[in-house]
Homo-oligomer: A and B are copies of this chain.
Amino acid sequence: MKIEKQYYKEHPTFHVAVDSIIFGFDQGELKLLIHKRQFEPAKGEWSLFGGFVQKDESLDEAASRILFELTGLNNIYMEELQTYGEVDRDPAGRVISVAYYALIPAKEFSEATSSQYGATWVSLKDLPPLIMDHNVMVAKGLRRLKRRATSQPIGFELLQGEFTMPQLQALYEAIYQSELDKRNFRKKILAMDVLIKLETKDKSSSRKGAFHYRFDQKKYEKLVDGGYIFTI
C-alpha cells in the first residue's frame, strides 16, 4: 500500500461538484428547476442545483443527496450526463463538475418549489442566463432528453402514477416541440403494450373526461430484458 500511495500523491487533487439538470412537465410545458445561488462567486444569479461531492459518497449518491437537500424529493430518476473540466470554468478556482440529468414526476412537481432555497420552475422557452457553463449543460441535457424520448418510454418517468393519453401526448409534444397526430400517437403507445387502462377518468380538462392509464413496470422490464427496443 505504500508504493501506490506515494505514486498517487505525486498528482494533484480537485474539488468535484455535481450539477443537476432537473426537468419537469407542467401545464403543457417542459420546465427546468433552477435557483438563485447561495454563495459567492455569482451569488444571487440563476444556477442549476449543485454541490460538492463528499469523501464518503459516490457521484450518484452526491447527486441524489443534493437533490434531496434542496427540494425534499427522493427516489428521482437521475443519470449522469457529462463531466465538465475546463480549467477556468469556475472563476473562483478549479472545479470539475459532473452534470446529472433528472426527471421529476408531475405529481411531485409543486412540492419541488416549496423549498426554502427558492427553487423555481422556468419554462425552457424563456430560460434566463445561468452562471458559468450551466446553459451549455442544459442544452446538452435537452438533447439527451429528446434522444431518450425516442428510444425509451421516458415519458412515464415524468408522468409517474396515473395519467391520460392527452397528457402523455402533450408531454411528448413538449419534448419534441412539435405537434403529433393523436390517432397515430395512441396507436404507437398502445402497440408497445406496457400500459394498463384504468376504469377511472380525469375530468379536469374536458366534460367527457379522459381515461387514466398506468405504466406496467413489470411488463416493461420483461420486455427490456428480452432485448426489446422502444421507439416512440
Contacts and interface: CB of A to CB of B under 8 A. Distances in A.
Contact of A98 (B1, B15, B85): B85
Interface stretch (A2-10, A158-166, A180-188, A194-202): A2-10
A56 interface: yes
Assembly stoichiometry (copies): 2
Chain A interface size band reads 35 or more
Contacts of A57: 87
A3 B12 CA distance: 23
A94 interface: yes
A92 B4 contact: yes
A96 B8 contact: no
A54 to B, nearest CB: 6
Interface in A69-122: 80, 82-87, 92-96, 98
A150 to B, nearest CB: 11
Interface string A189-212: 000000000000000000000000
A111 B20 CA distance: 41
A229 to B, nearest CB: 11
Contacts of A52: 8, 11-12
